[in-house]
């Protein structure tokens, strides 16, 4: 009797997760239905953003683009660095350094996003503008379109850099575990042929762990896509068609940043609020797609790893 | 079959490229080391700046008083924000811990079936979910339904964020309990649920605590979902159906104000928050290391929200 | 470069202090040594697995290493191309001279010399994602062989030498992992042969093979002997007798007796060797 009740209670608690996800879909669709019936498909493709009553019109395309550009740029910078770190920790670092070093790298992940934002605005931004953006702009600004425009520091580029820093611990620590899981006999086969450490890595470690490394990177992509606060604070917050990413040094907007930024101005029941919830729905779909792919790839490789919980 | 003559011929095609390869190897090692430095520098910079800018602001008043009037040069406090964060953590744990632990028990003890696999999978997906979407969901679910921003809405959102972490750690620490413990319990004729709650949960205690601390560290730094739920306030807690303040939210609001005193308060709040989050994380590591006799390294850190 | 006499006296001293029969060296002495291991001590996390072994290997000869399971054969073999130090907690001291040059003097020596020392591991370890062809060609690319035709020739030749060519010639693009255990082992031998080494270390290369394949591999060893120094670990006494010129018997991490194969098997000087080769233990 007691056993049955207990089992049912446990099953209910476990099913809660599923219920939440289903409810989330339902509520997001419900909350955004007004915008879909007004804008239809042009909510996805349009770029005007006008909240003035009577002339209301909403298109999410610039923010969808902004999300992919910032997340893509963050991946472009973050993935190679993460792979380097993972390689250092699994192949090169002396034993006594490995554990403390991985702790330090993972602490990067523990810093709350809003603190990244604060640090980004008041510290990092100046360095980026003066040491990276300005030189790039003065050298290539006239010839390369995505480096044009006077750098201000609060723009797509800075936001992407901070995003890259934020996804490095995720990607590097999972990749490190995946690389450690490569059997030593593989490395030995390459050493036997006279390979250097780097060649062993290319020849034995990477091919063996490729799908897991891709999964780790996609997990990083998922985080970059959903990241809100640091991006909101650093991306410069453009709206409407000017938010389309035209230059790295221009202000932009992502799906999550526009929701965070404009939420306070959207009153209950307004079309504006429905538009923001609609963007939330798009973000939901993108994020769930990315995460399902990443989980499938990573869990297959790391299933055997006991006690590893990724919070 | 390769003859000796052929082998001699083949060997002529081998190049003495070893110096170049060793050089490449050294360059790669250098680059890889730089990657580590590149990742560690921001962490160092953040810690230094938060301490440098936030340290001078810290005082008893700062920790206990309400915020000053916007724009005044008088330094206000973050008392309500600290109180709100602690309340949010406590209330969310009230939901997140029991549901998460029960869910973990299900996955570990009854979960080797289709339902278990589905829950496990979506639990992992939810753990990686953009928290802003969870915030929006709580907004539609609670705020719109009850007509006001409230600490309850915030609790609802944060408990959803906690849940997957606790479920996962519970499942994994229960699975580490030796089968003999279960068998011994059943052999004595003790009921299954008693075995689970009395014997298994006790043996898995340190794993459970780790999970809870991970989850707490995670939600302590969450900002995005709070925008849609607790709204923020400059007053202390005044009821479950009322808005409250929270540290991360306060940091965000302060950072957007153009006054030096607000920014200084923002750094001070950041220092308080980072101390809470980091001490939780270092505490987790301490528990883990002691348990595993220093062999750790498998533990994880709570991602900042 | 040869310090044969020095080595000899050292060795005899050591052997005598632990009161074992003196190591026999008659014909071994007379020709050139390709590979010389001096005072190799190897351990895992402080536990010694190979105790001060000194052994010399001649060119154009096959040396068999025999001994009961766990006596340190694999560990010793892995010291010969600095593979041992890659294991967890492994330490090694001593010298390994390849044509008189010490592999252990600088860190980079390992990389420089491993190319000349092919190794076949106890368990087959093909690169699972690479094709059969690429597995064999892997070492060639490292060593800067670019000529497609030459690579094709070497791959074909090496696969023929391990009698795998006929079985896989139509599936060269298939992944190495798609082969059976015995085929994988032969693929690994081919991979080691492809870099045209001068010394070949083989750790029980025939343990996963059927009798026919084993016979073919033994023929291959006899063929390669015309040029190589071959060191083979085996549990199969008949195999040792069939293929080897010299045999070393190891027991509890020590080299108990080392001499011409005929002598070791027909007229062992050490009691333990005698018991082992007669199959009384191990
Ligand atoms: N990776 C390792 N870590 C710790 N100890 C090891 C390791 N590999 C081998 N040993 C130990 O070293 C000793 C020698 O092992 P080795 O593998 O060299 O024996 P072997 O003669 O090759 O045996 P077999 O004939 O079974 O292959 C054994 O006692 C073994 O337990
Ligand atoms: Mg062995």
Q: Of ligand 1's atoms, which has the minimum distance to the CA of residue C71? A: 21
* Contact A74/B at CB under 8 A: no
CB contact under 8 A, A185 and C192: no
Quick one: how far is CA B73 from the chain centroid? 35
Structure tokens at B233: 């306030």
Atom 30, ligand 1: residue with shortest CA distance: C70
ipTM, two decimals: 0.89
Are the beta carbons of C144 and B7 separated by less than 8 Å?
no
The beta-carbon neighbor of C145 closest among B2, B14, B18 is B14
Give the single-character DSSP code of B143.
Answer: I
Kindly list the distances between the CA atom of residue A87 and the CA atoms of A90, A310, B33, C221, in Å, as whole numbers in the listed order. 5, 20, 9, 39
What b/e sequence results for B94-131 when a residue is b if at least 16 CB atoms lie within 10 Å of its CB, and e otherwise?
ebbbebbbbbbbbbbbbbeeebbeebbbbbbbbbbbbb
What is the distance in angstroms between the Cα of B29 and the nearest Cα belonging to chain C? 14
Place of tokens 């795998």: C164
Mean pLDDT, range A270-293, rounded to an integer? 93
User: Could A21 and B119 be called an inter-chain contact, meaning their C-beta atoms sit closer than 8 Å?
Assistant: no
Q: What is the pLDDT of residue C59?
A: 86
User: What is the pLDDT, as a whole number, of residue A217?
Assistant: 92
Among all ligands shown, which has an atom nearest to the Cα of C50? Answer: 1
The pLDDT of residue A150 is 84
pLDDT at A61: 93
pLDDT of the residue at B76 = 84
Residue bearing the CA closest to ligand 1, atom 11: C49
What would the mean pLDDT of B88-111 be, rounded to a whole number? 92
- Does residue A261 carry a pLDDT above 50? yes
Q: How is the beta sheet containing C33-44 ordered, strand by strand? A: C47-58, C33-44, C90-98, C101-102
A223 closest CA partner among A173, A157, A280, A290: A290
User: Looking at A98-102, B137-141, C200-204, which range is the least confident one?
Assistant: A98-102
Report whether pLDDT(C27) > 50.
Answer: no
Helices C211-224 + C181-194 axis angle, to 10: 10
Partners for A (CB, 8 Å, 3+ pairs)? B, C
Res. C49 pLDDT band, cuts 50 70 90: very high
Give mean pLDDT, residues C201-224.
Answer: 87
Judge: B14–C153 Cβ closer than 8 Å, yes or no.
Answer: no
**B46 three-class SS:** helix
Return residues with CB closer than 5 A to ligand 2 (ion): C 74, 122
Q: Using CA positions, which residue lies closest to atom 6 of ligand 1?
A: C44
Q: What is the enclosing helix (H) or strand (E) of B10?
A: helix B4-12
How many CB contacts within 8 angstroms connect chain B with chain C? 42
Give per-residue pLDDT as tens, B179-212. 888 888 888 888 888 888 888 888 888 778 878 8
Find, in chain B, the residue whose alpha carbon is nearest to that of A221: B128
Q: Where are the domains positioned within chain C? A: 3-277
Question: Could you give the CA distance from residue B270 to residue B52 in angstroms, rounded to a whole number?
Answer: 11
CB contact under 8 A, A210 and C142: no
- The CATH number that domain B59-299 falls under is 1.10.3720.10
Is the minimum distance from the CB of C73 to ligand 1 under 6 angstroms? yes
- How far B47 CA sits from the closest chain A CA (Å)? 9
Higher pLDDT, C19 or A144: A144
Tens-place pLDDT, residues A154-163: 999 999 999 9
Hey, what domains does chain A have and what are their CATH numbers? 2-310 (1.10.3720.10)
- Fold (topology level) of C3-277: Rossmann fold (3.40.50)
- The answer to whether the CB of B232 falls within 8 A of the CB of B243 is yes
C234 C-beta closer than 6 A to ligand 1: no
pLDDT of residue C11: 42
- As a whole number of angstroms, the distance between CA B180 and CA B198 comes to 15
Nearest beta carbon to residue A193 from set C112, C130, C195: C195
Whose atoms come closest to the Cα of C51: which ligand?
1
CA distances from C230 to A142, B70, C8, C220 (A): 66, 84, 22, 11
All structural domains of chain B with their residue ranges: 4-56, 59-299
In this complex, do A280 and B132 lie within 8 Å of one another by their Cβ atoms?
yes
Ligand 1 touching residue C98 (CB < 6 A): no
Residue of A164, A219, C184, C77 lying closest to A211 (CA atoms): A219
């Amino acid at each position: 009797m007691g056993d049955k009740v207990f089992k049912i209670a446990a099953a209910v608690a476990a099913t809660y997760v599923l219920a939440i996800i289903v409810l989330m879909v339902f509520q997001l669709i419900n909350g955004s239905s007004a915008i879909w019936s007004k804008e239809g498909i042009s909510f996805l493709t349009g770029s005007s953003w006008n909240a003035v009553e009577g002339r209301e019109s909403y298109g999410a395309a610039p923010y969808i683009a902004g999300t992919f550009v910032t997340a893509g740029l963050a991946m472009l910078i973050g993935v190679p660095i993460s792979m380097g770190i993972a390689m250092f920790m699994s192949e090169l670092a002396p034993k006594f350094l490995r554990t403390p070093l991985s702790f330090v790298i993972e602490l990067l992940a523990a810093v709350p996003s809003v603190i990244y934002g604060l640090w980004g605005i008041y510290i990092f931004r100046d360095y980026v503008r003066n040491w990276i953006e300005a030189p790039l702009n003065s050298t290539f600004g006239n010839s390369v379109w995505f480096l044009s425009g006077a750098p201000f520091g609060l723009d797509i580029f800075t936001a992407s850099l901070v995003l890259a820093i934020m996804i490095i611990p995720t990607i590097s620590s999972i990749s490190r575990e995946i690389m450690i899981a490569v059997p030593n006999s593989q490395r030995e086969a390459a050493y036997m042929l006279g390979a250097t450490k780097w060649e062993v890595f290319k020849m034995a470690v990477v091919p063996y762990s490729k799908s897991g490394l891709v999964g780790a990177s996609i997990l990083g992509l998922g985080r970059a896509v959903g990241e809100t606060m640091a991006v909101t604070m650093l991306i410069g917050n453009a709206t409407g068609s000017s938010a389309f990413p035209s230059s790295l040094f221009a202000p932009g907007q992502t799906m999550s940043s526009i929701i965070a930024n404009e939420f306070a101005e959207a009153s209950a029941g307004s079309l504006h609020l429905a538009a923001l919830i609609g963007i939330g729905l798009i973000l939901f779909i993108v994020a769930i797609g990315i995460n399902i792919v990443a989980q499938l790839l990573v869990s297959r490789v790391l299933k055997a790893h006991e006690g590893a919980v990724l919070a | 079959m390769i003859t000796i003559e052929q082998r001699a011929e083949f060997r002529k095609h081998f190049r003495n490229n070893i110096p170049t390869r060793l050089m490449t190897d050294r360059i790669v090692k250098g680059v890889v080391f730089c990657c580590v430095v590149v990742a560690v520098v921001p962490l160092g910079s953040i810690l230094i700046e938060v301490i440098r800018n936030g340290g001078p602001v810290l005082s008893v008043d700062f920790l206990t008083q309400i915020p000053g009037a916007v724009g005044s040069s008088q330094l206000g406090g973050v008392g309500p924000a600290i109180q709100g964060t602690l309340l949010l953590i406590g209330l969310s744990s009230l939901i997140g811990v029991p549901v998460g632990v029960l869910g973990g028990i299900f996955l570990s003890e009854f979960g080797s079936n289709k339902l278990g696999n589905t829950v496990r999978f979506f639990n992992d997906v939810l753990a990686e979910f953009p928290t802003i979407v969870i915030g929006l969901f709580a907004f539609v679910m609670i705020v719109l339904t009850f007509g006001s921003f409230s600490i309850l809405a915030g609790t609802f959102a944060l408990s959803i964020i906690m849940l997957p972490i606790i479920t996962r750690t519970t499942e994994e620490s229960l699975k580490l309990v030796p089968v003999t413990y279960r068998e011994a319990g059943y052999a004595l004729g003790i009921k299954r649920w008693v075995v689970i709650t009395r014997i298994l949960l006790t043996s898995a205690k340190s794993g459970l605590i780790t999970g809870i601390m991970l989850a707490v560290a995670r939600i302590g730094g969450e900002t995005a979902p709070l925008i849609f739920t607790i709204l923020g306030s400059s007053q202390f807690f005044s009821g479950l159906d009322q808005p409250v303040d929270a540290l991360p939210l306060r940091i965000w609001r302060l950072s957007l104000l153009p006054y030096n005193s607000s920014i200084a308060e923002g750094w001070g709040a950041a220092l308080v928050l980072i101390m809470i989050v980091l001490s939780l994380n270092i505490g987790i590591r301490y528990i883990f290391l002691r348990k595993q006799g220093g062999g750790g390294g498998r533990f994880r850190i709570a991602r900042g929200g | 470069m040869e310090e044969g006499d020095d080595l000899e006296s050292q060795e005899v001293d050591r052997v005598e202090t632990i009161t074992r029969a003196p190591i026999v060296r008659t014909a071994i002495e007379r020709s050139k040594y390709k590979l010389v291991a001096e005072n190799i001590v190897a351990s895992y996390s402080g536990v010694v697995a190979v105790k001060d072994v000194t052994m010399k290997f001649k060119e154009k000869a096959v040396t068999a290493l025999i001994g009961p399971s766990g006596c340190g054969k694999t560990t010793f073999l892995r010291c010969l191309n600095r593979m041992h130090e890659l294991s967890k907690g492994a330490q090694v001291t001593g010298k390994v001279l390849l044509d008189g040059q010490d592999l252990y003097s600088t860190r980079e020596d390992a990389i420089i010399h491993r190319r000349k020392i092919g190794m076949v591991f106890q368990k087959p370890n093909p690169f699972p994602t690479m094709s059969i062809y690429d597995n064999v060609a892997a070492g060639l690319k490292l060593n800067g062989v670019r000529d497609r035709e030459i690579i094709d020739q070497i791959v074909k030749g090496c696969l023929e030498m391990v009698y795998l060519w006929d079985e896989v010639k139509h599936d060269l693009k298939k992944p190495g992992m798609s082969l059976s255990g015995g085929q994988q082992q032969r693929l690994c031998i081919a991979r080691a042969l492809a870099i045209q080494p001068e010394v070949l270390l083989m750790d029980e290369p025939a343990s996963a093979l059927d009798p026919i394949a084993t016979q073919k591999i033994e023929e291959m060893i006899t063929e390669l002997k015309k040029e190589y120094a071959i060191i083979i670990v085996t549990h199969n006494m008949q195999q040792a007798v069939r293929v080897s010129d010299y045999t070393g018997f190891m027991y509890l991490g020590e080299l108990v007796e080392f001499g011409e194969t005929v002598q070791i098997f027909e007229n062992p000087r050490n009691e333990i060797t005698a018991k082992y080769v007669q199959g009384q233990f191990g």
